[in-house]
Structure 1
Amino acid sequence: MTVDPLSFRWLLPVILLASLTLVSSEKAAFTIELTTENFNQTLSGIPSSAFALIEFFAPWCPHCQRFKPQYEKVAALFNTEPRTTPDIMVFNVDCVAQGELCTRYDVKAYPAILFGPPKSFETNGQGAQKLNNANTADDVMKFINNRLGQNFVLSTDTTYGNTYNSLGEQLKPLENLTASMQVSLADVEKATVLSYEYMFSSKLLVPHNRRAFVQWTTLLANNHPVPRCRAGCRHLLSSLEEVWPERNSSGSPPPGPLPALQRWRVCGRHRTDGDWQGCKGSAPTTRGYSCGLWSLFHTLSASAEESEADAGFKWMQGVKAFVGTFFTCQVCNTHFMAMASTADAARVSTRKDAVLWMWQAHNQVNLRLAKEEAATDTGDPAFPKMQWPSPASCPPCRTTEVLHMDQASQDGADWNMDAMYEYLLWYYGEGKRPAGVALPARDPRPGPAVAVAAGHPRWGGAGQVSHVLLMAASGVGLVVCAYVWLRSMRNSLAKNKKGLLPP
């Protein structure tokens, strides 16, 4: 088959964009990142006969993190030579960094995947086809093959493991840190601020979601452990009719957007660009916001009023309102709401009920994720999912000794619930340190140990700088190679047309 190298001229600007993407650390190796600035230009450079596959994701979304290496497998097939027929280019969009772009394409849950010819994206993706509930590369390939009547097969020659594994081999751990024993309120506050920022930057502030917004904000106004966040939520509730009225002057719900509400800062002028404390992962895309939310849910339960008989019920209603309506990681949302819809969840009434249910639910999630991450080689290797607390962290919390933490049952048979409740109140609330629980050496970055194993290495510092420089050099090299290759092909073709090359 004769291939006309000039038919690939449109690839040069895409390759240039890809090389610039590589300069950033922790970026995908094959997937091309789109931004508000380059979106239209990049898609307009693709031939009308080609197709674009675009994933809209949020880096804080745990399912997006697990799906990333799967999506990379697809990108490795289509974004490399030789080109397929028809041609397909694989892109992604970071909805935290490119919120305006994701709003334009009506992205309400993550990950969202759109597929179609370039022209289908000209009308905000209305002409593109949407792939829902993709978990594996095979799901994506089946979707593409069905739409195009093709039989594309993923390559088995390349390793597409989690980025963290290769980075872990390249970067020596700088220190061994011991997980601390009390939750970081800085992480709780940051998760609170981000939860509102993500709500305000999405298309979720619609009339039928107002009740859920009020339930969540009411829970924070009553239970938040940080005084300024608690006061900010109370002020927001008292001003809600001004910033988000139920009805406007004509008697109808106000249409969006709601600029006065979106400017609100529930924790004051809190900055969110600083590092996570206890929730800081070994890579920028691990832990972070999802870990912070778990910490927030735990502290809200431990801060509930003990004297109120329905304090746990109110907590459950507020958390379900937030997760079910505003936590847009689709898979995470589905799993959590399934747990929150069980008979055990329905029996949550008191503070003790809420504190223990939240802890059991978190351990249940950790048990499931530990198996998934082991099977897919994802997750943060420095912070493996585990059943918490460990026997060493809280000796009185277990009634039987278990050899491996993943053997701990979920039905309470291995746990002393009264001791566990006392421990959780100390860890997430203002309770006293239980007898028999020792204070370990303090971590310079205090935070939750729910999914943290003591003594695991973390990397950073100079190694990360070297990695960034390496990626930058790779990006420049890719540009040069692309340019030389294109010039060579054009010269060869010109000579061939002039009869200067042998047949």
Structure 2
Amino acid sequence: MSGVYFYVGLVVLSLLSVSSVVTSDYSLASRRSILRAVKNNDRDYAVDLNATNFDADLKDTPATFAVVEFFAHWSPACRNYKRHYEKVARLFNGPDAAHPGIMLMTRIDCALKMNKNLCDKFSVGRFPMLFWGPPSEVVGVSWEPNQEKSDILIIDDGRTADRFLGWINKRMGSSFNLDDQKFENEQHLSSNVSDPRQIARAIYDVEETTSIAFDIILEHKMIKQETHASLLKFLQLLVAHHPSKRCRRGTAELLVSFEQRYPTDFWPADKQEDDMVPLRGSQICGEGVPHGYWMFCRGSKYETRGFSEN
């Protein structure tokens, strides 16, 4: 039973760590502020990139997908479209993102001379133009009209925020809504956080820790009759307060079937081992998690984590 409490404590410490990370004041010179305050306290959620940081920022993001808007600041069409783009960006970027860590939404101003070659690489012929793809595919490649076998797609139905999000939902098989809000129990987080990538990395590590902790609990056969009640309460805690929406969803699904898998009134010796495989296969924080590497928790030595010695 003490083993369960140890790994439960591991996840709890990770939850506390992410709260500490996202409420810190990121004032280091090497960290750029991604969100900038404008008149009337309006906030831009899309990340402004340019030719000097385009590759580095896309390589650095833990997000699965990236959207790049090529625009010109002098274009009336781009000025009118900005509010639509920002409505969608709000869902994925920033401290109040309803779905953080899934998609990084960026933009490039092609009216700036420094970005000319970058815009030419993507054959930008009108404004705005929106491209979608995995960040690793967007970096270091070019795009041509009617190009075959490319993971980079042009978003051809994003005239309004509704149609843009509809395109994303169709592509991802998701059901995102423009009215989606951050989980209500996350509203206590500080509103002065300005770097959505910091938040995404912190949540990424908590998802990694949560998945590994559950695998350890299952691998060491720690779900027993005497630990049943404490683990059940822990699952309820994660459903209510875990910072990752994917982990909350996965834990809720596990919680629904937990009594069926591990009933309190019937506990044969082989019950735990029989159910261990399907429970591990449920992927508590979503498909592909754990990934096997860390962001903030990466150690100074290869394959280490935390504060390892140099």
User: TM tier, shorter chain?
Assistant: 0.3 to 0.5
Q: TM-score, normalised by structure 2?
A: 0.44
